[in-house]
Structure 1
Amino acid sequence: MKKLACVVALAGAFLSTEALAWGNDGHRVVGAIADKLIKGSAADKQVAALLLPGESLESVANWADCVKGTWCGPQTPEMVGYVEANPKAGEYHYTDVPFQKAHYHDGEVGTAPDDIVQTLKQAIAVLQGKDGAAVNPHGFSKRQALLLITHMTGDIHQPLHVGAAFVAADGKFVVPAKHSDVDAVAIFDSRGGNNFLMDDDKVATMGAAHIPGENPKPREGVPKALTKPFHSYWDSTVVDYAMRRSSTRTPQQFAQYAIDSKPQVAINSGDVQSWPYQWADASLVAAKSAYQDVTVGPPQKQTSKKGEVFYNWTMEVPASYPVPSSALARTQLIEAGYHLAAVLQAIWPQP
C-alpha cells in the first residue's frame, strides 16, 4: 500500500490536465484518411487553397495541440496569434457529458459554451461563409476553422473527450444532475479520465499478452512511468494497439488499410451544423464501452505545486482490455477520418 500511495503521489505531480486526444499518430491517421477520400473533389481544391504549400490534412492534424507548447517545435507567429486571441483554446477540445447519458444537449451538465461541440459548429459556419459575433464569437479565420475542424473531428471521436466519469465517495460512477453537484465531497470529477491511474507495468503486460508486435520502448532520457492515466491510454496506447493489430506502422499505411477494408461508417444526416451533436452522441455510446467493467479505488487527495487540491484514483481494467479497447479505437479512428471527409464535402459540395 505504501508503494501504491507513492505511485499515486508521483503521478499526480506530473499529471497534465490538458488532454491530447489520439496523440500524434491518431490525429494524423484521421487527416490521412480524409486526404485520400476527398482527393480530386471540390472540397480538395478548397482545402488546398487554405493550406500552405506542402501541407495536407494529415500534416496539420495536430496543429491545434501543437499551439499548446513547443513539443512540435518552436511556436510560429500564426500559433502565437491564435493562442493570444483564444485564451480558452484548451476548452475547445472536449466536453464533459456524463458517459451514462445518451445525448449531448446544450446547457446540460458537463457542456459549456466553449466546448468541442460548440467550437465545431462555429468552425463549420465559418467555412460555410458565415460570420459575425453570433456565429463566430472567437473570430476564427477560414484557415483556423479548417485547422480546428481537422483536429477536433478527431477529438470528438475519442470517447473520453465526450463521455466524462464522475465518481461518488464510495468509488461508484454517478450522474450529477447539475455541475454544482460535483463538489469534491459527495461527487468528484475525474477530469476526463486523466485522474484515473493505471499501473503501467500491468498495462505493458496486458498489451504483450494480447497485441501482436512489441510494446513501444521508453524514449531515451525519459524516466519510465509508474502509472498511466486512463485518458493517456485512450489517447495513445490504443492507437498503437490498433495499428499493430492492423499490421500497419504509419498513419498513411493505416489510412490505406482503413479504406481498403471498406468499413461501414455511420452516415450523418440533416443540417451539417447538427453533425457535431451526432458525433458527440455516438462517442457517448463508445464511452460506455470504454468504461465497461473498469473499477476505481478510493479518492486520493493531492495538492499541486500551485497549491491546487485535486484527487486521483487507482484504476483496474479487465485482463483482456487491450482487445476490445483497440478494436473500438480502430472503429473510432476510421469513423473520424470518414466524417472529416464528409463534413468538408458537405461544406464544399461538387458543382
Structure 2
Amino acid sequence: MKIDLIAGARPNFIKIASIINAIKQAQAHQKNIQFRLIHTGQHFDRNMSDSFFEQLNLPEPDVNLGAGGGSQAEQTSKIMMGYEKLLLEESTDLCLVVGDVTSTMACAIVAKKLQIKVAHVEAGIRSHDLSMPEEINRLLTDSISDFFFTTSEVANENLRKSGISDDRIFFVGNTMIDTLLVNQSRFIKPEVWDQYHLEKRKYLVMTLHRPANVDEESKLKELIDEIVNHSNQLPLIFPVHPRTKQILNKLEVNYDTLIQIDPLSYLEFNYLVKHAKAVITDSGGITEETTMMGIPCMTLRNNTERPETISLGTNELLGVNPKAIAPALEKLFKGDWKKGGIPPLWDGKTGERIIDILIHLK
C-alpha cells in the first residue's frame, strides 16, 4: 500500500509527524506500507522550515509542489495543478490529508477526481462559521472523503448528521497530541526566557493571527490594552507576525510588560506554553496543546471547532469583545480557573491506530 501524505502549513507537519512514525513502526514489523511526503509549498519559510523538520525528526519531503503565496484561488489552483501532474506521472493508492488548510481541500479534490481514495485526519470538526476559510475547507474535504479519522465524539456526530455511515468513521484521537507527547521532554528554552528573567507561572503567552483580531487596528489596540492593563504586571510574551508588528508600531502600542518577539520554533514555543500562567490566543491548535498540558487558555473567538477543549479541557471561549478579557483574567488570578481533564484517546497512540486501520482496509 502506498500513501501520499499531504502537508502545506506548519500545523499539518505537526499532525503528519506521528503518522510517519507509525508507518515506520509498521514497516519495521514487515507491513507492506510506503509513503510519499508531499509538501505543497503553501507556507514556506526556509529558515523556519529547516529547523522545524529537524526538531520533529521529519524526513525531507519527497516532493515540493512550490505553490507559494498569492490569493486563495491562486494558491488552490497551483496546488491542484502540481498534484494532478504528480499523480498522472506516478499514482498512489491513498491520499491522506490532515487538518483544514487550502492544501487539504485542494489535494483531496484532485485525488478524488482521479479515482484515488481519500482519508481525512481530523475530520468532522466544525466551527459553523462560514466566514472562516478553514470551515469551507473542512466541509468540502469531508464531502468527498472515503475514510474519516476523528478526534472526538462531537466530530463523529457532525459526520453522521451529514450522512456519513459509521463504517467509514474512525474515532482515533489526536495526532497533534501524539507529537506533543513524544517531544515534551525535548522542549527548548528560548532566548527570551533568560533575556527577560522569566519564571515559571509568572508570565502570560499570547498569540493572535485571525484577521478579525489583527487587521482592524483599533480592535487590535483595544485587545492589547485590555490584556496588558489586567495582567497584574506579568510579562506578556507575544510571538508576532511581521505584518502584525508593523500595525502595532503604527499604533504606538508600547508597554514595558508587552514583550514582542519573532515567531518561535515548535519546541521553543511549547516550552513557553508549558511553564506559562496562562495562554491567550485565537488559534485552535494551541487550545489542544494547553488542554494536554493543563495550562489555562482564553480563546478570543466567537466559536471553536474544538469544543472538547472547553467541555473537558482548560480552554474558555471569551468571544471577540475586549471587555470580556478583564473578568477572565480576574478569575485566573483569583485561582478560580477550572482544572480541566484530558479528552478520550489523547494518549499518544493516534498515529498507530490510523495506520493499523488503513493496513486492514486495503
TM-score range, shorter chain: 0.3 to 0.5
Which structure has more RCO (C-alpha within 8 Å, separation ≥ 6)?
1
Structure having the higher strand fraction is 2
TM-score (norm 2): 0.31
TM-score (norm 1): 0.32
